[in-house]
Amino acid sequence: MVSPKRSIRTKLIVSYVTLTVLSLAVLGVLFSRLLSDYLFTQQERVLITRGQAVAKIVKDVAQGRPLHYQARVVLENMGEFLGAQVWLVDRSGLIIAASKGSVEWEGIQLDADEFNDVMKGTVVTRRARTGRFNMPMITVAVPVTMGNQVLGALFMNTPVSAVEQTLAHVRRLVLTASVFAFLISNLVGIGLSRSITRPLRAMTSMAQEMTKGVFDRRVPIETKDEVGELGQAINLLAEKLERSLGDLQEERDKFQSIVTGIDEGVIAADNENQLLWINPQAGELLRVGHIPLEKLKMDDLPVPLLDLLHRVSVTGHVEALDVSPYPLVVLRAYGSPIRRGDERVGSVILLQDVSEARRLENMRRDFLANITHELRTPLTSIRGFVEPLLDGTVEDDRTRHRYLGIVRDEALRLNRLMDDILDLAKLESGSMSIAFDLMDIRDLVYRVRNIFEPQAKQKDLELVCQLPADSDKEILVWGDSDRLQQVLTNFIDNAFRHTEPGGVVTVSVGITEHRVIVRVADTGRGIDPEQLPYVWDRFYKVDKAREKGKEGTGLGLSIARGIIENHGGEVFATSKPGEGATFGFMLPKSEA
């Protein structure tokens, strides 16, 4: 059981009170005893002195001679003078004379133990209650001598009540003085305790504020004693802590700004693999940003990161590995130990998103593979048809003419491929020439329609153009007419190649408050929705069901996207399998 809290002030007051009470009690007891001994001893001395004087007067009686008048007067009045009963006792212990008021004691024989000592010539004093009196008495026996002979004794009996009354009065005075001294000392003690505990309470309050991070308070220094020195030390401690924590906070803010501002993710863990800190970038890369930091644990992170921490703890060196927490996401993780001197106190992991680099690397490899394939196919075809012509295998003119036509088509295909590759390279390098001018999108649509109408009739397709209701009004955009015609031509050409005979290809123009939207929709078999995001990639080919011909190079849509983006626009594609596909672009609307 915890004992109740007692403040220093309470302890000091209790100490002052206890010390005062004990001091006053000891002082009162000692003073009472000393005063009592003093009064009794003084009374005995008075009795002895007076008794010795009277003994000289009454020694004639002790010798058997009659007591003369003056001696009798002294003896009779001695009781009133001393406040005591005075007996004159002979050698046999017989009371032969008594003071006034105690005459009835004359003729009484004392016991031997009462007068033997005094008969030896010694003054005897006693303080006791005897059977002859009903109260405590002080008895002083003075021998009456002549020369060296003891003739008798003078007994003086006085009650101690007078002394006790004096003692009681003195004790009352002492008690009153003690109470007054007690009150005064307590008031002084309380004042002193307050003067000591007030700065201590201020120091305690300041220390409690310091535990809450408040360091701008200071203890008032009122004295130059040890308590004042303690207050100065605490003030100095608070000042240094405030400065140190300010520096630490500044460094922490710098660290937070740096770590928060970088693109890489940072994770810190202790030796027990308990998560210490994770920056927002790491939370986004690992998709755990929705979990509050205080609830996030290392177990919520990918298992390879735990293995990385284990490897770092074993080797004590920087370790690295690639982590793919989600499809199409690749992270390069670097693990490094955190050291304090020679001791490892934890580990830190740096996460870099290398998904785009991996994707570009894959695209580069795919590009090389695709361009090699696209070049090999027509070259192989050309070689296959040229060799029979050269070795004379083909003799009739019809077959020779057909072979030469195929060679020409493959050469044209190679030419288109090289043109597309050059256009794509110019787009990516930013060197493509684009001549911006104010143009009417309707003229573009009409011009392209006129180009494709003969081809539509040849393929048994219906080419439809849909313009806004107020088609007489100009639809102006800021762009390069030739480049936009290249884009629209690519969209329509793709639609023709992937639409069955009897199908419909629709070119439509829409207007919003700030944009002009051009769409090319076909009624072909459509594209799988999972493949739509990739149709704009270089050399991307959809399923074989849409590859009716080999005229395409796989670069047209990628080039179209680059041209539209250079015009400050966007491309889009939608499709439903079995219902056709729609490709289009949006450009900022311009005013005349």
Mean pLDDT of the chain: 78
For 94, which DSSP code?
Answer: B
Count of helices and strands (H, E) across the chain: 13, 17
Q: How many C-alpha atoms does 272 have within 13 Å on its Cβ side?
A: 3
Q: What's the rounded Cα separation, in Å, for the pair 214 and 164?
A: 68
pLDDT in the model for residue 544: 44
Residue whose pair of structure tokens reads 């995001």 in the numeric block: 533
Three-state DSSP at 150 gives: strand
Lowest mean pLDDT among 36-40, 64-68, 312-316: 64-68
Q: Is 62 exposed, middle or buried (0-12, 13-18, 19+ CB in 10 A)?
A: buried
Indicate if the pLDDT at residue 535 is higher than 70: yes
Give whole-number Cα distances, 209 to 5, 84, 236, in Å. 20, 78, 15
Structure tokens at 11: 């302890």
Residues 6+ positions from 309 with CB-CB distance below 8 Å: 269, 273, 298, 335, 347, 349
pLDDT in the model for residue 56: 58
Best CA proximity match to 581, nearest among 534, 523, 539: 523
Lowest mean pLDDT among 123-132, 338-347, 469-478: 123-132
pLDDT in the model for residue 13: 65
pLDDT in the model for residue 2: 45
Give 69's pLDDT tier (boundaries 50, 70, 90). Answer: low
pLDDT, one tens digit per residue, over 195-230 is 777 777 777 777 777 777 777 777 777 777 777 777
pLDDT in the model for residue 93: 84
Lowest mean pLDDT among 2-6, 173-177, 545-549, 582-586: 545-549
**In order of start, what are the domains of the chain with their CATH numbers?**
8-166 (3.30.450.20), 262-353 (3.30.450.20), 357-428 (1.10.287.130), 433-588 (3.30.565.10)
Spatial contact of 467 and 482, defined as CB atoms under 8 Å apart: no
pLDDT in the model for residue 521: 94
Please name the residue ranges forming H helices in 430-517: 441-458, 481-497
Q: List phi, psi (to 5°) of 524.
A: -75, -160
Three-state DSSP at 550 gives: coil
- Give 494 or 102, the one with higher predicted confidence: 494
pLDDT in the model for residue 491: 92
Give whole-number Cα distances, 250 to 239, 319, 443, in Å. 16, 31, 63
What burial letters (b/e) apply to 574-592, b meaning 16+ CB within 10 Å?
ebeeeebbbbbbbbebeee
pLDDT in the model for residue 545: 42
Spatial contact of 119 and 150, defined as CB atoms under 8 Å apart: yes
Lowest mean pLDDT among 187-196, 355-364, 395-404, 515-524: 187-196
pLDDT in the model for residue 484: 92
Indicate if the pLDDT at residue 179 is higher than 50: yes
Mean pLDDT of 60-74: 55
pLDDT, one tens digit per residue, over 536-557 is 876 666 654 444 444 556 778 8
Three-state DSSP at 156 gives: strand
pLDDT in the model for residue 148: 77
pLDDT in the model for residue 129: 66
Give 115's pLDDT tier (boundaries 50, 70, 90). Answer: confident
Structure tokens at 278: 């994770």
pLDDT, one tens digit per residue, over 264-319 is 888 888 888 888 878 888 888 888 877 877 778 888 888 888 888 888 888 888 89
Lowest mean pLDDT among 106-115, 324-333, 412-421: 412-421
Indicate if the pLDDT at residue 251 is higher than 50: yes
Residues 6+ positions from 37 with CB-CB distance below 8 Å: none
